A and B are shown apart, each in its own frame.
Chain A
Amino acid sequence: MSANALKLELPWVEKYRPHLLKDIVGNEETITRLQQIAQDGNMPHLIISGLPGIGKTTSVSCLAHELLGNAYSQAVLELNASDDRGIDVVRNQIKQFAQKKCSLPPGRHKIVILDEADSMTAGAQQALRRTMEIYSNTTRFAFACNQSNKIIEPLQSRCAILRYSKLQDDQVLRRLLEVIQAENVQYTNDGLEAIIFTAEGDMRQALNNLQSTVAGYGLVNGENVFKIVDSPHPLIVKRMLLAPSLDESLALFKELWNKGYSAVDIVTTCFRVTKNLDEIKEAVRLEMIREIGFAHMRILEGVGTYLQLAGMLAKISKVRGL
């Protein structure tokens, strides 16, 4: 284990990036659809939208690989936010690529992958419009983005829009266990639980945290994970939120604060804990979350003070009717 930790190695997110559509977890329905497309060919223009780290980029590149196989290198043009994708590139590089002749098996087309397409300027997107139509017999486009509404309407109209929903905890777990087995990681259940808790459906974050914990401590248990991600332990936060009086709640909070956790970490943990705080009625929890959320907002605006959080706890105890 420790030898493993010292070795310099690829980030696990890359090492375990799925190469086949069937290895992608979650969003089964959409993935099935993509698999069908990979089999039949004739991929339509696609927009895949969804939160970060749920496999958008991965799906697109898997699809392209499965469709084109060895021809990938010559028949795929991949551009992401780090490439220049200004209007000139669209008008020159992309258009030229679309015009390029390329002998592919029937049902296969050249593919232009535009990752993080929501960062493209409107002008550049406009310039894609007719290109997508005129060369559609030879070239198809695939966009991946976080917000589909940042893609101009005419482009949306030209594409099949696939929306990825957030990964479920058990889906993240499934993938984690695969990686754990491949890497022969030692873990405890509360460790995995902690990783999933902090990742909130973001697979990239889950894998990164897993790798960091392994690299840092070897053993993946709850304590180590929370140390790595530097957030307070949810159990303490839970006690703080459920304290029978404001004084007790504040005392627990002070403890956390003195340990050096940042306001953002405390407040986000509060949010996550409250979400699943079955001890309290849902209607009350919604009010609590409202207070926590606004405190979160103010903290992000730069007011991450002790007083801010203490105020939040006071409001929460009021909401709880203490």
Chain B
Amino acid sequence: MVGIDEFFKGQHTGKQPSKARATGTSRKRKEQPVNSASNPINLEDSEDEHTLEAKKPSNQLKAGVSVEIVDEEPQPRKRQRATAPAPKAKASSPKKSPKSKIQSAEAGTAEALLSQIPSVDLDAVHVKETAQFDFRSNGNAGDSSQAAAEEANFPEGAPNCLLGLTIVFTGQLPTIERGVAEAIAKRYGARVTKSISSKTSVVVLGDEAGPKKLEKIKQLKIKAIDEDGFKQLVAGMPEEGGDGSAAEKARQKLKQQEEKAQKDAAEMIKVEEEQREKARRVQSKANTADKREPVREEDKLWTVKYAPTSLQHICGNKTSVNKLKTWLSNWRTYQKQGFKNAGRDGFGVFRAAMVYGPPGIGKTTAAHLAAKELGYDILERNASDVRSKSLLNAGVKNALDNTSVVGFFKSKHDGDVNQKNFVIIMDEVDGMSGGDRGGVGQMAQFCRKSSMPMILICNERNSPKMRPFDRVCLDIQFRRPDPTSIKARLMTVAVREKFQLDPNIIDKLVEATRGDIRQLINLLSTISTTTKKIGHENAQEIAKAWEKNIALKPFDIAHKLFDGRIYSDVGSKSFPLYKKIELYFDDFDFAPLMIQENYLQTRPSVLKPGQSHLAAVADAAESISQGDLVERKIRSSEQLWSLLPFHAIMSSVRPASKVAGQMAGRINFTSWLGQNSKMGKYYRLLQEIQYHTRLSTSTDKLGLRMDYMPTMKKRLLDPLVERGNDAVPEVIQTMDDYYLSKEDWDSIMEFMIGSDKTDLQIKKIPTAVKSGFTRKYNSMVHPVAIYKTGSTTAVGAKPAATPDFEDIVDADDNVPPADEDEESKEDTDFKKDKLIKQGKPKVASKRAGSTAKKSAAAKKRKTK
């Protein structure tokens, strides 16, 4: 039973600490960095290599690994020397470099060291299996270290020791996975590329390397080494890549990067100073204002402290930010023209803009900064305010009409209100909930009439709830920024907070947080609470600590579960089933998703005799799907949490046990989250189309997608492709027959997959035809389906607003969104008892010119 007996034995004999039991490698590994963290202190005083090794059992083990492998090679002595001093080099910080010189004197540059490492005999690369055996027996001899990631068994190198080298890995390395090896190389600052070129400094060859690659190596006369050679390289190279010219260059580049970060940081400090100065002045002026002293910088959240202070500082989404700024800066001009003149960019008809995108990428920030930079004052409403129809009416409308603003703002700005320009920021519009009955419709109304610029912000533009804002707002999409644009920002933060951030790890973090900058900054701040104490002297240390951090955990779990060695007879003794289950419990939200994402990417080593890879994958897939059945029981309303251990088996351990082996590529972060939200989006689009077509179709959503849509596409797109302008009336007629709007046309095209995929076809249509189509469509009056549930007479029959009803109004199959209903009530004149109304000609004609551009833009957004 879980080895408790054993524990008790310890308890009874001599109060042995629980460590003896070695629960879970994870715990064990946790302790390691602490050990080595305290070690550098010891090392400083000890010149003696033997004491050094005695004090560092873990490193001794590592050295042991390489020594043993090396024994079969021609010159064991030399290698041993190359690896043994490695810990020392690692521990020494720049100041102490003389010591590491002792060993690196013979190999100061990468070239020199490489020349000492034997090249692989290119003609004999295929026969090489002994090393693997060595490793296994070694792993078993040691405690449960077998299950520890290969990376841990890899010799330590000096920080950035591979700087300036361009390394190509090819073939299957004997003891470590290629992905891991690449990660190691990157961690030490090397550039890792996939293809061999003249720039390649060294190739690390494994089994079954492609013949083409071998050819190329020979041709270009590139140094080829094996895994052991690579280990030596890492262990032997001095800090910062030695004295080679390539290393020098790379160093300079890094330095530039760092200098930039430093500069940014300095600038930030300056700006902050100025602001504080200003704030102080303002405060002393407003003597009646509260006497609270300003908040200390170090008491602020990092996200606040490092919030961008000008629009330029917002990472990524440059075009969207500019769009917002342009629109806002020209707003007065648009107003003078009565919002009739769309202008070249088509912004001119909008009184409101809708900024949307996933959380934490700078929407709110951008809106506020844009307003500030253009000299507007901000009136903000957000989800923490009640925004029901009546309250909105009372509150915002007053402000809008600019009459009684004084009363509205009395507390804050007395006196000069009427000279101020206001911009209204409606944040978190999709956060309006059941309690804000009618709010969305009302807000859309404001957007049509507002005499002040309005910026609306939401996460999900496509949700049916947001439908009332179609065509009344300028849509501005914010996307998840890419790693490079975030990197600079994070580096700046790191410099300011004085902790070292390994740029190579940022990519992974960005992936794990899906580009959420706020989350990233939060993550940094959390991790730095403990790791900055370890100090900025040693990047390695911190990189280690990082690897265990919260967001990277899922990678670790997948990595361990897919390790074929823990499923062998021996392996399942040293890493028993309950420990595998515990891996799942380390993060039971993500573990199953990570397994599902990566189970196709292994080279199974656990196949039964005669079993094919495909059969193993099928087994795993079956298990995953059965795991989903279990999960539904757990997460549904039934909440059967007692099934969780069973879920662990079915969703993670069992599928992994079927295909475990070596990873064929790097482990990917789960794409399920993204796919799932995409699916949600498509469902909403489909629902929309179904609402519209309901009057002339007789099917459900699925039927619409499966049976109608392919034909619709044929009728809506193919004529345009084949006959161009001539086909426009016909297409529009079809659209009207089915009550499809132009947006629906776009959506339908987006739905097509496989050979029906439309983007190429759409590209083939001449722009003239496309814009002609849009213009024509907008100039006409179209029938619009109004959807109501229940009886048509029941305009007010919606269940009386229950004040306590809190869930966000989710449109499900039968209930059209309340807000839409509400909105249609607004213009009661023409729809009291009809299901069909003639569209709003006003709006359509006003927008005639602009929509062409807009829909083009919309299309661009959608095809992305």
Is there an interface contact between B1 and A157, defined as CB atoms closer than 8 Å?
A: no
Is there an interface contact between A121 and B807, defined as CB atoms closer than 8 Å?
A: yes
B845 to chain A, nearest CB (A): 37
- 1/0 per residue, CB under 8 A from A, across B175-206: the answer is 00000000000000000000000000000000
- Which residues from A are CB-within-8-Å of B633? 297, 300
A122 to chain B, nearest CB (A): 5
Is there an interface contact between B653 and A271, defined as CB atoms closer than 8 Å?
A: no
Residue of B nearest to A52 (CB): B641
Residue of A nearest to B2 (CB): A169
Q: Is B301 an interface position by the 8 A CB rule? A: yes
Is there an interface contact between B804 and A86, defined as CB atoms closer than 8 Å?
A: yes
Residue of A nearest to B304 (CB): A136
- Which residues from A are CB-within-8-Å of B299? 41-42, 106-107, 109, 137
In the bound complex, what is the Cα–Cα distance between A148 and B292 (angstroms)?
36
Flag the segment in B345-353, B358-366, B440-448, B485-493 that touches A. Answer: B358-366
- Which residues from B are CB-within-8-Å of A264? 642
Is there an interface contact between A127 and B30, defined as CB atoms closer than 8 Å?
A: no
Interface size, chain B (Cβ < 8 Å): 91
Is there an interface contact between A276 and B808, defined as CB atoms closer than 8 Å?
A: no
Flag the segment in B577-585, B683-691, B784-792, B830-838 that touches A. Answer: B577-585
- Which residues from A are CB-within-8-Å of B469? none
Q: Is B5 an interface position by the 8 A CB rule? A: yes
Q: How many A-B residue pairs have CB under 8 A?
A: 234
Is there an interface contact between B298 and A107, defined as CB atoms closer than 8 Å?
A: yes
Contact residues of B: prevailing secondary structure: helix
In the bound complex, what is the Cα–Cα distance between A137 and B304 (angstroms)?
9
Q: Is A19 an interface position by the 8 A CB rule? A: no
Q: Is B4 an interface position by the 8 A CB rule? A: yes
- Which residues from B are CB-within-8-Å of A268? 642
Interface residues of B in 431-472 (CB under 8 A from A): 431, 433-435, 459
* With A156-B519, A163-B550, A168-B27 as contacts: A293 and B630 at CB distance below 8 Å: yes
Is there an interface contact between A197 and B630, defined as CB atoms closer than 8 Å?
A: no
Is there an interface contact between A165 and B586, defined as CB atoms closer than 8 Å?
A: yes
Is there an interface contact between B427 and A276, defined as CB atoms closer than 8 Å?
A: no
In the bound complex, what is the Cα–Cα distance between A66 and B430 (angstroms)?
38
* With A87-B435, A293-B630 as contacts: A189 and B384 at CB distance below 8 Å: no
Q: Is B576 an interface position by the 8 A CB rule? A: yes
- Which residues from A are CB-within-8-Å of B808? 122-123, 126
- 1/0 per residue, CB under 8 A from A, across B536-560: the answer is 0000000000001010010000000
- Which residues from B are CB-within-8-Å of A200? 645
- 1/0 per residue, CB under 8 A from A, across B796-828: the answer is 000000001011100000000000000000000
Q: Is A153 an interface position by the 8 A CB rule? A: yes
* With A87-B806, A129-B384 as contacts: A160 and B526 at CB distance below 8 Å: yes
Interface residues of B in 327-386 (CB under 8 A from A): 358-360, 364, 380, 382-386
In the bound complex, what is the Cα–Cα distance between A289 and B633 (angstroms)?
17
* With A163-B587, A276-B578 as contacts: A40 and B529 at CB distance below 8 Å: yes
- Which residues from B are CB-within-8-Å of A165? 582, 585-587
In the bound complex, what is the Cα–Cα distance between A101 and B430 (angstroms)?
30
Is there an interface contact between B569 and A106, defined as CB atoms closer than 8 Å?
A: no
- 1/0 per residue, CB under 8 A from B, across A154-167: the answer is 10111111110110
Is there an interface contact between A275 and B581, defined as CB atoms closer than 8 Å?
A: yes
* With A122-B807, A137-B304, A170-B23 as contacts: A159 and B522 at CB distance below 8 Å: yes
Is there an interface contact between B567 and A282, defined as CB atoms closer than 8 Å?
A: yes
Is there an interface contact between B23 and A168, defined as CB atoms closer than 8 Å?
A: yes
Is there an interface contact between A166 and B582, defined as CB atoms closer than 8 Å?
A: yes
Partner of B526, one of A33, A137, A201: A33
Most buried by B among A128, A149, A189: A189
Task: Determine the interface band of chain A, counting residues with CB < 8 A from chain B.
Answer: 35 or more
B644 to chain A, nearest CB (A): 8
In the bound complex, what is the Cα–Cα distance between A283 and B568 (angstroms)?
9
Flag the segment in A10-18, A57-65, A88-96, A209-217 that touches B. Answer: A88-96
Q: Is A32 an interface position by the 8 A CB rule? A: yes
Is there an interface contact between A128 and B643, defined as CB atoms closer than 8 Å?
A: no
In the bound complex, what is the Cα–Cα distance between A234 and B519 (angstroms)?
46
B657 to chain A, nearest CB (A): 6
Q: Is A110 an interface position by the 8 A CB rule? A: no
In the bound complex, what is the Cα–Cα distance between A101 and B657 (angstroms)?
57
Partner of B806, one of A86, A131, A160: A86
Partner of B522, one of A44, A148, A292, A297: A44
Is there an interface contact between A36 and B530, defined as CB atoms closer than 8 Å?
A: yes
Q: Is B300 an interface position by the 8 A CB rule? A: yes
Is there an interface contact between B23 and A44, defined as CB atoms closer than 8 Å?
A: no
In the bound complex, what is the Cα–Cα distance between A106 and B21 (angstroms)?
44
Q: Is A278 an interface position by the 8 A CB rule? A: yes
In the bound complex, what is the Cα–Cα distance between A42 and B304 (angstroms)?
12
In the bound complex, what is the Cα–Cα distance between A159 and B520 (angstroms)?
10
Partner of A300, one of B23, B383, B582, B642: B642
- 1/0 per residue, CB under 8 A from A, across B158-169: the answer is 000000000000
Q: Is B254 an interface position by the 8 A CB rule? A: no
Q: Is A290 an interface position by the 8 A CB rule? A: yes
Partner of A154, one of B359, B523, B525: B359
In the bound complex, what is the Cα–Cα distance between A307 and B197 (angstroms)?
68
In the bound complex, what is the Cα–Cα distance between A182 and B27 (angstroms)?
28
- Which residues from B are CB-within-8-Å of A129? 382-384, 427-428, 431
Closest 8 CB pairs of A and B: A123-B433, A126-B431, A293-B646, A130-B382, A157-B360, A160-B526, A154-B359, A157-B359
Q: A residues near B, CB below 8 A?
A: 28-29, 32-33, 36-37, 40-42, 44-45, 49, 51-52, 86-88, 90-91, 95, 101, 106-107, 109, 121-124, 126-131, 133, 136-138, 140, 147-149, 153-154, 156-163, 165-166, 168-170, 173-174, 189, 192-193, 196-197, 200-201, 234, 264, 268, 271, 275-276, 278, 281-283, 285-286, 289-290, 292-293, 296-297, 300
A-B contact pairs, 6 of them (CB 8 A): A28-B30, A147-B589, A158-B360, A275-B577, A276-B1, A278-B573
